[in-house]
């Protein structure tokens, strides 16, 4: 008996896959379809049947209904584990070979930035006079902080996050995960803009920024209570909510209810601007949009945009969409240059801020070390690019010589024997197959200065 659960060729066709002009049809032997029809036959009242609920019921019994199908997927997935690991190792090995000097120099840059942070932190503590007093103030949740002490603490806190974010970019880049690295680069850019706004603005801006954290915390607690159960979070207690509301109310009494708006804490920098303040306003004020291309490019690593989705379809490859590391050369260079430029700016601003606020002027000499480390990365990157191009040129020239030899060979069939190589998804493909030289899927290129900086 059939109770209406049928699929014709139009509704079941998978677009883009040829199937003798008829599309792909659901087989009459479909386990799911038979299950639905059997359940329909057992029902006394068909009007009470819910197709979606029946589908979910069938899925919950997958082990029983389709054991061979389930085991087939599991076996294939287990086989792919080794293939995925091999691809990952190959990507890391290729990047480690082609960019060895850059990897080493980038590590030196990260270590230099961290050293600047630790020295600046020690200088701030010396500025308090006594370490016990500094720890008391720092651990008081900021309630007693204001003026230069708060400004330096915020500067150091944001710089620490910049250093950590750049450290996160490194393994993503060096493992061939472009999108993840661009997403973190975008975060690093935001950190750099906020760092500059706090560092160059008056104390009031920093104090408002600090107080706005109470507003964000209250919003987080309310969101956790509203949506947390859906992902297994325990809801915050009434006491936590009440305490956060009290802190937020103190902020409202100081700065007015508009402080609830994002970036309203920066209002002293935009006294005549009507309406809301946006990140674009902060960006223009901090950098005059000089590096905004990094931000816009990084957007593609975060958002599910149509451009990136379509650009990741490669019809010249058997797998269409890559699910594994890639590490295209143009993305590698852009990511490294962007990360170095941003971390250099934040690190230098940090040591200069501490030197100025506490009159420890010698601390500003750390700028020279950071600049040297950044220059070292750019030099290494340029050298790696040149060596990589030379290796590719030699390889291409060697391939050309072999092709000429094959063309004069007495065995014409030998020219058609093409070696096969593994593609990023584990499928075999002829090494001479045309490649898809598409532009970077992460956005428009950025101008590079003569000194190697973005």
Can you give the pLDDT at residue 111? 97
Are β-strands 420-422 and 428-430 bridged in parallel, bridged antiparallel, or unpaired? antiparallel
Do the beta carbons of residue 191 and residue 198 sit within 8 Å?
A: no
Rounded mean pLDDT, 164-169: 97
Rounded mean pLDDT, 376-394: 90
Can you give the pLDDT at residue 75? 92
Rounded mean pLDDT, 154-162: 96
**Per-residue tokens: 151:** 């400004």
- The helix or strand, by DSSP H or E, that contains position 428, with its residue range, turns out to be strand 428-430
**pLDDT exceeds cutoff 50 at 420:** no
Rounded mean pLDDT, 148-157: 90
Can you give the pLDDT at residue 7? 44
Can you give the pLDDT at residue 248? 93
Q: Alpha helices of 66-140 — where are they, by DSSP H?
A: 67-98, 100-128, 131-138
**pLDDT exceeds cutoff 90 at 145:** no
Angle (CA) 221-263-110 rounded to 5° is 85
Q: What is the DSSP string of 17-77?
A: --STTS-----TT-HHHHHHHHHHHH-S-GGG--HHHHHHHHHHTHHHH-HHHHHHHHHHH
255's torsion region: left (phi>0), alpha (psi -120 to 50) or beta?
alpha
Rounded mean pLDDT, 275-291: 92
Do the beta carbons of residue 413 and residue 153 sit within 8 Å?
A: no
**pLDDT exceeds cutoff 50 at 427:** no
Report how far apart, in Å, the C-alpha atoms of 304 and of each of 174, 309, 334, 370, 442 are: 23, 7, 21, 36, 12
Which band of pLDDT confidence, cut at 50, 70 and 90, is reported for residue 435? very low
Do the beta carbons of residue 426 and residue 83 sit within 8 Å?
A: yes
Q: What DSSP designation does 438 have?
A: P
**pLDDT exceeds cutoff 70 at 396:** yes
**pLDDT exceeds cutoff 70 at 181:** yes
Helices 147-174/329-357 angle, 10° precision = 160
Backbone angles phi, psi at 289, to 5 degrees: 60, 20
**pLDDT exceeds cutoff 90 at 431:** no
Can you give the pLDDT at residue 323? 82
**pLDDT exceeds cutoff 80 at 88:** yes
Q: What is the pLDDT of residues 42-54, one digit of tens each?
A: 887 777 788 888 8
Do the beta carbons of residue 430 and residue 420 sit within 8 Å?
A: yes
In 49-79, which positions are buried (b, 16+ CB within 10 angstroms) versus exposed (e)?
eeeeebeeebeeeeeeebeeeeeeeeeeeee
Report how far apart, in Å, the C-alpha atoms of 2 and of each of 5, 6, 31, 62, 380 are: 7, 8, 14, 21, 70
Which band of pLDDT confidence, cut at 50, 70 and 90, is reported for residue 302? confident
* CA–CA dist 155, 150 (Å, integer): 8
Can you give the pLDDT at residue 131? 58
**pLDDT exceeds cutoff 80 at 84:** yes
* CA–CA dist 150, 46 (Å, integer): 69
* CA–CA dist 230, 37 (Å, integer): 33
Report how far apart, in Å, the C-alpha atoms of 41 and of each of 4, 49, 55 are: 11, 11, 15
**pLDDT exceeds cutoff 90 at 360:** no
**pLDDT exceeds cutoff 50 at 11:** no
Which band of pLDDT confidence, cut at 50, 70 and 90, is reported for residue 39? confident
Percent residues over pLDDT 90 in the chain: 44
Which residue, among 442, 172, 448, has the nearest Cα to 296 in the 3D structure? 442
* CA–CA dist 134, 117 (Å, integer): 16
Helices 67-98/366-407 angle, 10° precision = 110
**Per-residue tokens: 377:** 């990365």
Can you give the pLDDT at residue 308? 80
Q: Provide CB contacts within 8 A for 133, sequence distance 6+.
A: none
**pLDDT exceeds cutoff 80 at 414:** no
**Per-residue tokens: 115:** 């050293």
End-to-end CA distance of the chain: 69
**pLDDT exceeds cutoff 60 at 144:** no
Which band of pLDDT confidence, cut at 50, 70 and 90, is reported for residue 134? low
pTM over 0.75: yes
Rounded mean pLDDT, 366-371: 96
Q: What does the chain come to in residues?
A: 454
Can you give the pLDDT at residue 349? 95
Backbone angles phi, psi at 66, to 5 degrees: -135, 60
**pLDDT exceeds cutoff 60 at 21:** no
Do the beta carbons of residue 244 and residue 214 sit within 8 Å?
A: yes
**Per-residue tokens: 248:** 């937020």
**pLDDT exceeds cutoff 70 at 253:** yes
**What is the chain's mean pLDDT, rounded?**
80
How many CB atoms neighbour CB 341 within 10 A? 23
Of the listed ranges 181-190, 227-236, 313-322, 413-422, the one predicted with least confidence: 413-422
């Amino acid at each position: 008996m059939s109770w209406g659960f049928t699929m014709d060729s139009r509704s079941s066709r998978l677009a883009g896959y040829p199937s003798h002009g008829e599309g792909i049809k659901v087989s009459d032997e479909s386990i799911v379809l038979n299950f639905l029809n059997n359940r329909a036959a057992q029902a006394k009242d068909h009007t009470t049947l819910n197709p979606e609920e029946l589908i979910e019921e069938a899925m919950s019994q997958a082990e029983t209904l389709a054991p061979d199908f389930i085991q087939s997927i599991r076996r294939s997935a287990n086989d792919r584990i080794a293939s995925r690991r091999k691809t990952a190792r190959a990507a890391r090995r290729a990047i480690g070979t082609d960019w060895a000097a850059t990897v080493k120099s980038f590590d030196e840059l990260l270590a230099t930035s961290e050293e600047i942070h630790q020295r600046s932190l020690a200088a701030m503590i010396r500025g308090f006079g006594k370490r016990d007093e500094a720890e008391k103030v720092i651990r008081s949740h900021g309630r007693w902080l204001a003026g230069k002490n708060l400004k330096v603490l915020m500067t150091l806190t944001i710089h620490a996050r910049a250093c950590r974010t750049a450290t996160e970019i490194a393994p993503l880049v060096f493992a061939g995960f472009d999108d993840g690295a661009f997403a973190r680069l975008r975060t690093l850019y935001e950190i750099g803009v906020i760092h500059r706004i706090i560092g160059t603005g008056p104390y009031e801006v920093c104090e408002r920024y600090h107080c706005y954290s109470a507003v964000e915390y209250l919003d987080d607690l309310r969101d956790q209570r509203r949506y947390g159960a859906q992902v297994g979070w325990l809801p915050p207690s009434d006491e936590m909510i009440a305490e956060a509301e009290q802190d937020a109310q103190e902020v409202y009494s100081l700065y007015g209810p508009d402080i609830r708006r994002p970036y309203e804490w920066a209002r002293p920098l935009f006294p005549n601007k009507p309406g809301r303040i946006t990140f674009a306003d902060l960006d223009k004020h901090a950098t005059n949009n000089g590096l905004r291309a990094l931000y816009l490019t990084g957007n593609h690593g975060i958002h599910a945009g149509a451009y990136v989705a379509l650009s990741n379809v490669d019809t010249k490859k058997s797998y269409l969409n890559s699910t594994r590391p890639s590490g295209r050369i143009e993305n590698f260079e852009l990511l490294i240059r962007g990360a170095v430029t941003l971390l250099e700016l934040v690190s230098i601003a940090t040591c200069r801020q501490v030197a100025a606020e506490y009159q420890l002027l010698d601390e500003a000499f750390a700028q020279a070390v950071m600049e040297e480390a950044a220059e070292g990365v750019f030099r290494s990157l340029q050298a790696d690019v040149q060596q990589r191009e030379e290796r590719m040129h030699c390889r291409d020239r060697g391939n050309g010589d072999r092709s000429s030899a094959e063309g004069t060979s007495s065995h014409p069939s030998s020219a058609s024997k093409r070696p096969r190589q593994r593609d990023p998804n584990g499928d075999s493909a002829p090494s001479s197959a045309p490649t898809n030289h598409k532009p970077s899927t992460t956005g428009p290129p950025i101008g590079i200065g003569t000194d190697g900086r973005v």
